[in-house]
Amino acid sequence: MKKILNSSFLSLLPPFLRSFFLLFLCVSNASCLYLLKPRENFESSKNLSRPDYSDLKYWASHPAKKDPGDEVPKDSGFTDMQTTAEADVFFVHPTTLIVAGKYWNGDLEDESLNRKTEEGPIRSQAGAFNACCRVYAPRYRQAAFYVFMEDTPEGQKALEFAYEDVKNAFLYYMKNLNQGRPWILASHSQGTRHTVRLLKEIVSSSSYKKNLVAAYSVGYPYSSEETGLSPCISPDALGCVINWNSFLWGSKPVRLSERFGKSLCVNPLSWTVDESYQPKESNPGSVPIRFYRVLPGIADAKCESGILWVHEPESRGFPTLGKDDTYHLVDYHLFYASIRRNAKARVDKFLSEKGKR
C-alpha cells in the first residue's frame, strides 16, 4: 500500500489539494476532527450570500467565460470543443470546503475556496466533458466536509441547504441556458449526493429527461433505483445513470460499507455493469492529480460487490487515501480519457437517434 505521510507525496500536490491531505489524515485519526468542525451553529450559514445564477460570478465554469473547465492536459492531443459542441454538461462539484472555519456551508465570496474548486474538480472532472459539451458548473453553498464524518442534525441541515442551491442552479440552467439541447449530468462525491436526489425528485418525472444523454454521477454509493433511471449497461446506452467508486484492489471499505453491496458500479473502461476484468491496456489514458499529462495503459478496473477495484497504477500521482485505501480523490483522473471518449460517443449516438445531426 502506498504511504502518504511523507514530503514526497506532499510535493505532488499543488496548493489547492493540500487541504485534502488534512482531510484524509482526519479520516484516519478521529482525534483531529475538531480541526474540521464548524465553529458556529448551522443558522449562521443562512447569512451567506445567496447565489444569483443570472450572474456569471456564480458559475465556476460557464461557456461565456474563460475558466479551468476549458483546459486539457498538456501535450495530450485533446482539444476544448465547446464553441462547436452540440450538447451541454451540467456538473456539480465535490466537497472542497475541508476546514470549515465559521460556517457549515461554503461562502461564495471566499475567493480562496473558489480557486480551490476551479483548479481542482472543475479542471480535472468537469473539463473531461469539454470535447462533447459546453460546460456549466454552478457555485453552490456546499456542505463542509465535517458533515460526512459525523451524522448530526446540523450536518443534515447543511446538506439540505446545499441541495437547494444545486436545484435552483439546475432549474435556472434548464429555463434559461439549455434551449432544448442534449445534456449530460455529471458530478462527484458530495455533488453526486445532490445529483442522485435531483434525478429522483425532478429529472426522472419531468420533460427534462427526454434530452438527457446520460448521468455520470460518480463517487458515492447508491443504487440506480434511487435515481429513478436505469443503469447504463452498454457504452452507448442513453438516458441512464453511471457510477463507480474506486478502491485499491483487495482493500476493504470502512465508511459507508453498508451501501456498497447494493451500489451501482459501471466499469469506466468497458462501460458495462458486469464483473468482467478490464486490463490496464484497455485504458486510453489516466491523468495524474496535478493534471500535467496523460498516461495510457496504467490503470485497470473490475466491478465487484458494488466497488470498482483498481491495482496500483504504474505511475505516481494517483494516491490511495484513508484507512480503506480509496481512490476517491482520483475517481475521474484514473479514467479521464475514457470518460472523454465515452461522453462524446453517447452524445453522437443521441444526436444520430434524435435526428439532430
pTM above 0.85, yes or no: yes
pLDDT tens for each residue of 101-144: 899 999 999 999 999 999 999 999 999 999 999 999 999 999 99
SS3 state of residue 347: helix
Find the radius of gyration of the CA atoms of the chain: 19
- Ramachandran angles phi, psi of 61, nearest 5°: -140, 140
Digit-by-digit pLDDT tens for the chain (357 residues) are: 344 444 445 555 555 566 666 565 565 555 567 778 898 899 999 999 999 999 999 999 999 999 999 999 999 999 999 999 999 999 999 999 998 889 999 999 999 999 999 999 999 999 999 999 999 999 999 999 999 988 999 999 999 999 999 999 999 999 999 999 999 999 999 999 999 999 999 999 999 999 999 999 999 999 999 999 999 999 999 999 999 999 999 998 877 777 888 999 999 999 999 999 999 999 999 999 999 999 999 999 999 999 999 999 989 899 888 778 899 999 999 999 999 999 999 999 999 998 665
Distance of CA 119 to the CA centre of its chain: 14
Please say whether the beta carbons of 328 and 321 come within 8 A: yes
The amino acid at 31: S
Sheet holding 87-92, edge to edge: 59-61, 133-138, 87-92, 183-188, 212-218, 240-242
Could you tell me if 131 and 340 are in contact, meaning their C-beta atoms sit under 8 angstroms apart? yes
Residues 189, 196: contact at Cβ < 8 Å?
no
Q: Residues 6 or more apart from 272 whose CB is under 8 A from it?
A: 233, 234, 235, 266
CA dihedral 48, 53, 55, 59 (to 10 degrees): 80
Phi/psi at 299 (5° precision) = -135, 130
**Strand 133-138, strand 59-61: pairing:** antiparallel
Ramachandran bin of 291, using left for φ above 0, alpha for ψ from -120 to 50, beta for the remaining angles: left
Kindly state the DSSP code that residue 135 receives in the 8-state scheme.
E
**By C-alpha distance, which of 290, 327, 294 is closest to 311?**
327
Closest CA to 340 of 69, 136, 129: 129
Task: Residue 161: name the closest of 147, 175, 177 by CA.
Answer: 147
